[in-house]
Structure 1
């Protein structure tokens, strides 16, 4: 960790604030009535992000069990966005921005990318196994 005098991750901070606002609004007013799914979803093919919006809404409502049922990514996204919003508040108040500065070795980087891809594939398999739930209203 490092402390900097500027926000190195400004773009991520803006995305996180937008995500927190969106999750909060959807938690209050409910999911939109517009169907945003692609054709593969309609044919029963679930992607690793299927259910993530509903999971984020349930996370914002504090219903973590339901959120996990739909997609663990929703919990991770809301938690990560919350950390970024707290970081932005801290940085704005103190002009000291916590930053994660890490430069892994190439071998470590390959292992991390391989692990990330494996987790995405496992999430895809998990979500496909929940197709009936995810295709429901």
Structure 2
């Protein structure tokens, strides 16, 4: 079989382009973000455990933490613990992503409750050309912030 020439391949490309912005928002009959719903449920259970039992007494840190290398998640548990006890300023010091992630968790749970009750789910689609660079820059910024706060994060809770 002959290989089609370049003109034939070009002519088969879609003639329209998809806009990267704004995000598409649709109300649909099914949960288009089950991973978000389940993640929020797991996070809420974790928050409940923190409320009932406090900070875990076991060391959850990886080996790089002991060498003074922080990761973006360092201080996250303490941040949520402090948020749950109304200490927003201290929560932001331990991990500035903590309050944002808690807001996302609450919004996802509210979305799930409404979706389960009504059978109508708000689903969004954001082009990866938008969210991946934003996520990368935010993660690097958080990494830098956490490394700058290494002395605070290395000290054992309550120690």
* TM-score (norm: length of structure 1): 0.87
Identify which of 78, 81, 91 aligns with 2:105: 81
In the TM superposition, structure 1's runs of 4+ consecutive aligned residues that sit over 3 Å from their partners are none
Shift of 1:61: 2.4
Matched with 2:60 is 36
- Structure 1 pair 27–6 and aligned structure 2 pair: CA distance change class (3 A): same
Please list every run of 5 or more consecutive structure 1 residues that lacks an aligned counterpart in the other structure: none
CA-based RMSD of the aligned residues comes to 1.6
Identify which of 109, 120, 127 aligns with 1:96: 120
Q: Which has the larger radius of gyration?
A: 2
CA distance, structure 1, for counterparts of residue 125 and residue 131 of structure 2? 16
- Structure 1 pair 115–12 and aligned structure 2 pair: CA distance change class (3 A): closer
Are residues 1:66 and 2:90 paired?
yes
CA distance, structure 2, for counterparts of residue 95 and residue 16 of structure 1? 19
Aligned residues: 132
Are residues 1:12 and 2:31 paired?
no
Please list every run of 5 or more consecutive structure 2 residues that lacks an aligned counterpart in the other structure: 1-24
Are residues 1:121 and 2:145 paired?
no
Secondary structure at 1:47's aligned position in 2?
coil
Matched with 1:47 is 71
Shift of 1:112: 4.3
Identify which of 127, 132, 136 aligns with 2:151: 132
Structure holding more helix per residue: 1
Secondary structure at 2:125's aligned position in 1?
coil
CA distance, structure 2, for counterparts of residue 125 and residue 51 of structure 1? 13
| Contact 1:24 1:60 (8 Å CA) reproduced | no
CA distance, structure 2, for counterparts of residue 67 and residue 80 of structure 1? 16
CA distance, structure 2, for counterparts of residue 29 and residue 47 of structure 1? 25
| Contact 1:27 1:58 (8 Å CA) reproduced | no
